[in-house]
Amino acid sequence: MPKRAWHECAYPGCHRLTKDRYCEIHVAKQDARRESSYRRGYTSRWAKTRRAFLMEHPVCECPECQASGQPLPADVVDHIIPHRGDPVLFWDRNNWQAMNHVCHNKKTAREDGGFGNKKR
């Protein structure tokens, strides 16, 4: 059984001794970096999907715009049911609606401010 020797952490400038590639501090940092590049991938995929969705849904689908007959141009994709980080709700097309950011801000303000009001 070859024993792994203690050596310095592979992180530039770190001299903590470790038996792995990185000391425990920098192992965590490497994980954080992986996580953020994962998020970047997620975000660019969403940016593309969103753009395609808005091409198909060029006008705001909020109730006010529907009622006015003169909907504002859509520039955001809203999640009808707030996804709160749930990837299933996040990527479910049936849970998307095109909205204008002004209408969207109003809706978000209602949702944030109206905690406990059972509108739906």
The residues that touch Zn ion, with contacts defined as CB under 5 A, are: 9, 11, 14, 16, 23, 26, 60, 62, 65, 100, 103
**Residue environment code for 11-25, b if the CB has 16+ CB neighbours within 10 A, otherwise e:** beeeeeebeeebbee
Say if residues 18 and 29 touch (Cβ distance below 8 Å).
no
Cβ neighbours of 59 (radius 10 Å)? 16
CB of 41 to Zn ion, least distance (A): 26
Say if residues 28 and 20 touch (Cβ distance below 8 Å).
no
Judged by CB, which is closer to Zn ion: 40, or 110?
110
CB of 23 to Zn ion, least distance (A): 4
Judged by CB, which is closer to Zn ion: 50, or 91?
50
CB of 66 to Zn ion, least distance (A): 8
